[in-house]
Amino acid sequence: MLKSVFEQYGLTSVLEVVTLKGGLINSTWKIVCSDRSYILQKVNNYVFNNPEHIANNIKNIGDYLKFEHPWYLFVPLIPTIKGEEQLHIPENGHYRLFPFVEGSVTYSVLENSHLAYEAAVQFGRLTKLLAQFPTQTLHIPLPDFHNLRLRYNQFESALITGNKLRLKVAENSIDGIKKNQQIVKQYDELIKHQSFKTRVMHHDTKINNVLFDTNMKGLCVIDLDTLMPGYFISDVGDMMRTYLSPVSEEETDFTKIEIREDFFQAIVAGYLSEMKQELSKEEIDNFIYAGKFIIYMQAIRFLTDYLLNDVYYGEQYLGHNLVRANNQFVLLQKLIEKEPMLEKRIKTFMDETMDTLSI
| Listed residues 38, 70, 99: the one ending a domain | 99
Whole-angstrom Cα distance, residue 47 to residue 49? 6
| CA angle, 6 then 26 then 330, to 5° | 160
Taking CA atoms, 129 is separated from 121, 126, 162, 196, 270, in Å, by 12, 5, 44, 18, 15
Q: Are 34 and 129 in the same domain? A: no
Q: Are 151 and 283 in the same domain? A: yes
Classify residue 298 as exposed, middle or buried by CB count within 10 Å of its CB (0-12, 13-18, 19+).
buried
Q: Are residues 31 and 17 in contact, defined by beta-carbon separation less than 8 angstroms?
A: yes
Is residue 105 domain-resident?
Answer: no
- Phi, then psi, of 33 in degrees rounded to 5: -110, 175
| Listed residues 66, 99, 132: the one ending a domain | 99
| Listed residues 73, 99, 125: the one ending a domain | 99
Whole-angstrom Cα distance, residue 105 to residue 249? 24
Is residue 107 domain-resident?
Answer: no
Q: Are 236 and 286 in the same domain? A: yes
Classify residue 57 as exposed, middle or buried by CB count within 10 Å of its CB (0-12, 13-18, 19+).
buried
Q: Are 201 and 133 in the same domain? A: yes
Q: Are 23 and 167 in the same domain? A: no
| Per-residue pLDDT in tens (0 to 9) along the chain, 359 residues | 688 888 889 888 888 888 887 555 678 899 898 888 999 988 876 566 677 888 899 999 999 999 999 999 999 999 999 998 888 877 778 888 999 999 999 998 898 999 999 999 999 999 999 999 999 999 999 999 999 999 999 999 999 999 999 999 999 999 999 999 999 999 999 999 999 999 999 999 999 999 999 999 999 999 999 999 999 999 999 999 999 999 999 999 999 999 999 999 999 999 999 999 999 999 999 999 999 999 999 999 999 999 999 988 888 999 999 999 999 999 999 999 999 999 999 999 888 876 554 44
Q: In terms of residue numbers, what domain contains 56?
A: 2-99
Is residue 106 domain-resident?
Answer: no
The reported pLDDT for the residue numbered 49 is 63
Q: Are 175 and 310 in the same domain? A: yes
Q: Are 293 and 226 in the same domain? A: yes
Q: Go through the chain and tell me how many residues it has.
A: 359
Is residue 75 domain-resident?
Answer: yes
Domain count, the chain: 2
- The CATH number that applies at residue 42 is 3.30.200.20
Q: Are 94 and 136 in the same domain? A: no
Is residue 36 domain-resident?
Answer: yes
- 71-97: b (≥16 Cβ within 10 Å) or e: eeebbebbbbeeeebbbeeeeebbbbb
Q: Are residues 123 and 235 in contact, defined by beta-carbon separation less than 8 angstroms?
A: yes
